[in-house]
Structure 1
Amino acid sequence: MDERSKTLLKTLIERYIAEGQPVGSRTLSKYSGLDLSPATIRNVMSDLEEMGFIASPHTSAGRIPTPRGYRLFVDSMLTAKPLERNADLAELTGQIQDQLGGQQLGPQRMITAAARTLSNLSHFAGVVMTPRRAQAFRQIEFMRLSDKRILLIIVSPEGDVQNRIIQTELSYTPAQLIEAANFFNSHYAGMSFDAVRGHLRVELQDLRRDMSQLMQAAVEAGSVAEDEDDDHVFISGERKLLEVEDLASSMDKLRRLFDVFEHKTSLLQLLDVSSHAQGVQIFIGGESRLVPIEDMAVITAPYEVDGQIVGTLGVIGPTRMAYERVIPIVDITARLLSSALSQN
């Protein structure tokens, strides 16, 4: 593609993002800065359409970008301004910093605040994922609810408490439950339940049958608690996407949009992929199988604690978004969240 074609494609995408209407040759002539005849511009647009970068809606003589066009735009045509030289970005940094660290929030509240911040500043949906990882427990307790129903109380190293109900084949007395909890805490405190499972395979033969069954039940319940607790996806501002015509223009798109937020499977896959990459990643529907809706784009960045990537955050919006504005929001939020969590 020659420079003339690149300039016209960049101008077309910028105008479409700004106005939301198919872009014609007259608009391109006005905003591109090129001294070209309308016929020449139409010929270039025809070539761009053949290459798959733009498309022509049936109801208009103008053109709109395709996912392939957006991809070329964000990869090679977007102008990023140095953070330290841009007063607007300095102000943005201050806004994000205030919301993440101004109230000295705990890690969990900081993560939910990050999702809310991303949504508020982008005007789309903000999302933060913490990856699944084995969490250690500080101690457990058993509480007898009835003959064969026991409450498992799990205390994390940070003091958070989770409860799980265990159905057992045998009936346990309060004294037996205390004995089992003491054994568990003295041998396995500080481990994850997955790690305890490995130890129990070796040590079960040394335990009485009634105790071994209770231990196995506790490990299974604790592992479920770990899975539920660790694969959190915090989403803020989903309803703002209902106001985006590109995403809410048909019932089919609305159904797929709500499916993304209700089941989260595709979102988890996308965020998990992002956690293995450095810096800001942009996923565009129609050219990425990870984005289930053609008119949707997701901008993500990993965040760290003490130099180790621990999760991913991002903004979910339409492909017709102001990328040069949203990318710094995601980038700065990831950097500031990393710093705040590392200091917390």
Structure 2
Amino acid sequence: MRGVAAKLLPWFEENRRLLPFRQEPSAYHIWVSEIMLQQTRVAAALPYYERFVAELPTPADLAACPPDRLRKLWQGLGYYSRAANMQKAAQQVCDLYGGELPASWDALRALPGIGDYTAGAIASIAFGIPAPAVDGNVLRVFARLFDDDGDITRPATKQLFTQRVMEEMPKATPGPYNEALMELGALVCVPGTPQCEVCPLREICLGYASGRAAALPVKPPKKEKKKAPVTVALVESPAGFLLQRRPARGLLANLWQPLCFEGKSLTREELTKEMEALGVAVTWNEALAPARHVFTHRIWELSGWRGTAPVCPLPEGYAWGRADDAAGDFTVPSAFAAYVPGAGNG
């Protein structure tokens, strides 16, 4: 034992950010916030969180929300499969637990979209269950604290660090301890150069003592992402942009997008033929400026043409609509933000 909690908890009490899900730390609020914060900075996520829980204040409300409306509420956060999994989990919570998240790590972990970390955060913060909540912030803190250059992407390393987290956990206050570790990693023990001069754990940090804190944690080099051309047909009519719904499975499932062709660099003439096949008579005005969008495992390199067309009937899966209509059904992902006003925004 290195006495982490004794030094960390007083610091947390004095320096903790007053976040809305800490002011009302229900299991549901913690769950929503943790899913939103997995790939999004706190400041950016807060407006989405507040809007989400205002419209869907309980698991029952989330379970019953129309999927298109749910995607609209999530628009701008990305990773839309997380919202879909949250809805599946909420439906199970209503079916199995009377609409309240269960006070059990195992039961939480069994719900769709809830992994070890999220289950630990909900269990410890909402229910006081001594469970670890080990995310990237906590791994970084413990790599430096123990001056450990183990590869934190390896399951064995994460298991060792989780064991250390549990050894330092005060059984009476697991929630504040987990939150304090996350907060330390977010505010002080940050990626790159940590702010060791203001760290409450500096006196017991082996990484600080060795001068290696900034070099930790160790991760393998990132694999180069595959690049794919995408041709976009940005066609606008008096009724809005020509949109098509993406397939129900796979990348950006069920979202709406301008007509586009993945893996292809089409000429204007080839695009015209595609439009004719849809029954849309387009007048092309200009080439779109090249743009790119970076996903987790791939990069889209976008180009195409902008044009206008009269309103006409469209086949199923296509529509005229606007992405910037906050109450509308057309959720257009941020991949098209360079071309479509309102894409990716709430």
TM-score (ref. length: structure 1): 0.22
Between structure 1 and structure 2, the one with the greater Rg is: 1
TM-score (ref. length: structure 2): 0.22
